[in-house]
Homo-oligomer: A and B are copies of this chain.
């Protein structure tokens, strides 16, 4: 057996000594139990804080654990408790490039932060829309303690295994069995469209997102509803959230409806693409055509883009927290999206 060495190297805040294992392996519960002169069961009860333990035993175990710098092995604990050891963030999309996105970065990072105190790790995976078996495969690993789905479809949601019911949350669309957390796309887009209308715009076009994406669809629905209520015709061009498609879409809008006086972008990137194309065509923004985005990315404030807020970090934190705490949750949690009025509209 290896030696378990320990040496005091300083003091923590609160004036309790902390320990560094200087040699050998980290201490195990067995080491602690032996050092405290109790059984492993008792030590476990004290450390985990479950079940009975006499004050004397408690004290001795605590001291021994401190002295040895004992930290429970979360993997072993998860194994026996059947709890799993990591949270899976699955991002649906047509190509693995969906992961190269600051949106995904924020979701993953926020999730990792929430998971840290629980000893859970986070993993990201691209989920191709046409290979539904992958989700099943990925979640078959019992090490997966929870699931956060991003940009998912309802077909994908139905494949979430029973084992993960109550431990899965979707950022975006939800289902009967999988609750969802999302930004209020309809509200955000709606307030922007109303703002355009109030500013006198009547020929309002929209560059939408991919059709399969439900959250994009909700923005489009809001746009249609408002224009319909006002008795205005809709003008839609399909985009894909990218600036490049935004440029192309702007060209198409002007070709098909040259008198357009406002363009609603499904995202800030789309809107920025639209603006750059308009500028290239010597169309003045917002004088000739007003443009709005969605997300309020840092670039938006720098470019004075009128947009709607999208607190990604808070949403992701909420999603991860729901998964970890498994608290009784409403089917759908919507975060408000506030209009951010700047110069482009």
Q: Interface code A1-31, partner B: CB below 8 Å = 1, 0 otherwise?
A: 0000000011011000011111101110000
Q: How far is the CA of A153 from the CA of B106 in the complex (A)?
A: 26
Q: How far is the CB of A159 from chain B (nearest CB, A)?
A: 7
A105 at the interface (CB under 8 A from B): yes
A75 B85 Cβ-Cβ under 8 A? yes
Q: Interface code A115-150, partner B: CB below 8 Å = 1, 0 otherwise?
A: 110011111110000011100111011110000000
Q: Which listed residue, B120, B121, B124, touches A109 by the CB 8 Å rule?
A: B124
Within 8 A of B (CB), among A28-44: none
A303 at the interface (CB under 8 A from B): yes
Q: How far is the CB of A163 from chain B (nearest CB, A)?
A: 7
In the complex, the count of this chain's copies comes to 2
A76-B79, A78-B75 in contact; A12/B123 too (CB < 8 A)?
no
A121 B124 Cβ-Cβ under 8 A? no
Number of A interface residues in the complex (CB < 8 A): 68
Give the contact stretch, choosing among A66-74, A181-189, A191-199: A66-74
A163 B26 Cβ-Cβ under 8 A? yes
Residue in B closest to A73 when the chains form the complex, CB atoms:
B142
B73 A141 Cβ-Cβ under 8 A? yes
B136 A20 Cβ-Cβ under 8 A? yes
A161 at the interface (CB under 8 A from B): yes
Residues of B within 8 A of A302 (CB): 272, 299, 302-303
Q: Which listed residue, B23, B131, B140, touches A26 by the CB 8 Å rule?
A: B140
Residue in B closest to A140 when the chains form the complex, CB atoms:
B71
Q: How far is the CB of A137 from chain B (nearest CB, A)?
A: 6
A89 at the interface (CB under 8 A from B): yes
B71 A137 Cβ-Cβ under 8 A? yes
A298 at the interface (CB under 8 A from B): yes
A72 B21 Cβ-Cβ under 8 A? no
Q: How far is the CB of A69 from chain B (nearest CB, A)?
A: 6
Q: How far is the CA of A13 from the CA of B130 in the complex (A)?
A: 9
Q: Across chains A and B, which 4 residue pairs bring their CB atoms closest together, nearest first?
A: A121-B121, A86-B121, A18-B133, A71-B140
- 5 extra A-B contacts, CB within 8 A, seeds A20-B136, A102-B102, A109-B124: A26-B142, A74-B141, A75-B84, A89-B112, A108-B108
